[in-house]
Amino acid sequence: MAILRETESQKRRKKSNILLGAVLGGFVLLVFAITVAKMVDGNKMEAFDHVRRPSVEATQ
């Protein structure tokens, strides 16, 4: 059965949840932006473990 009217505390909780969601979403975007910035700066982006490592292969 649908709840037609939210109580005051539900409204406030909803607001908190939305803000927390925005913070977490912002964090994801920030990490992505950092990744892009580091790639643009030419940092080594090779993974370390259980993957092909071109830099190691090149020396062999």
| Positions that interact with another protein (CB under 8 A) | 7-9, 12-13, 15-16, 19-20, 30, 33-34, 36-38, 40-41
CB of 13 or CB of 53, closer to another protein: 13
Q: How many other β-carbons are positioned within 10 Å of the β-carbon of residue 32?
A: 10
Minimal distance, residue 33 CB to another protein, in Å: 5
Q: Which pair of structure tokens corresponds to residue 1?
A: 């059965």
CA 44, CA 34: separation in Å to the nearest integer? 14
Minimal distance, residue 3 CB to another protein, in Å: 9
